[in-house]
Amino acid sequence: MPAIRNPRYERFAQGIAKGKSQHDAYIYAGYAPNQKAKDVRSNAGSLARKPEIAARVAELQAKQAQRIGITVDDLLVELQEMLALAKRVKQPAAGVGAILAKGKLLGLIVDKAEVEGSVRKPARRPTPETRMTMDQWKDQFAPQHVAKGPMQ
């Protein structure tokens, strides 16, 4: 795959392939001179999900791995050796780490960040309730809609 035509996209992909965070790669590519940090993170994440950028990052990382001569199989062998060492010296935490790393390399374990959000709605009048479901809030505070009939 040749370089991406959009130079900023290409520089962003190169930044990710070099190991920069999405945030840092976004700035490295020349974006975000006056954006808020949360907007930079959001925009960087959106950019990273573009198919042409994801494909270019994968290609650059594969070239880099090939250039330095390390394969997934090499990493798995090293991790297996670390696991054996952890068992010999009775360090179960190190062994668990090696097992988890093997699982991640093989795609059996995927790190996911769980984001829990809350919706905060102001009360129309004071209430002793500190927590309520969205349905409870609607029942208590949502404006009552009057059914409109035909105009007369």
User: Is residue 15 domain-shared with residue 53, that is, in the same domain?
Assistant: yes
User: Is residue 12 domain-shared with residue 64, that is, in the same domain?
Assistant: yes
User: Is residue 58 domain-shared with residue 80, that is, in the same domain?
Assistant: no
Predicted TM-score of the model (pTM)? 0.48
The model's confidence at residue 37, banded by pLDDT at 50, 70 and 90, is confident
CA distances in angstroms from 140 to 44, 86, 97, 119, listed in the order given:
40, 59, 50, 16
> What is the count of structural domains for the chain?
2
Residue where one domain finishes, among candidates 20, 53, 68: 68
Helix axes 7-17 and 51-68, enclosed angle (nearest 10)? 40
Q: Which domain holds residue 88?
A: 72-105
Judge whether residue 24 has pLDDT over 60. Answer: yes
Predicted confidence (pLDDT) per residue in 42-69, tens digit = 888 888 899 999 999 989 888 877 776 7
The verdict on residue 144 lying in a domain is: no
Beta-carbon contacts of residue 71 (< 8 Å; ≥ 6 apart): 65
3-class DSSP assignment, residue 143: coil
How many whole angstroms separate alpha carbon 101 and alpha carbon 76? 9
The verdict on residue 98 lying in a domain is: yes
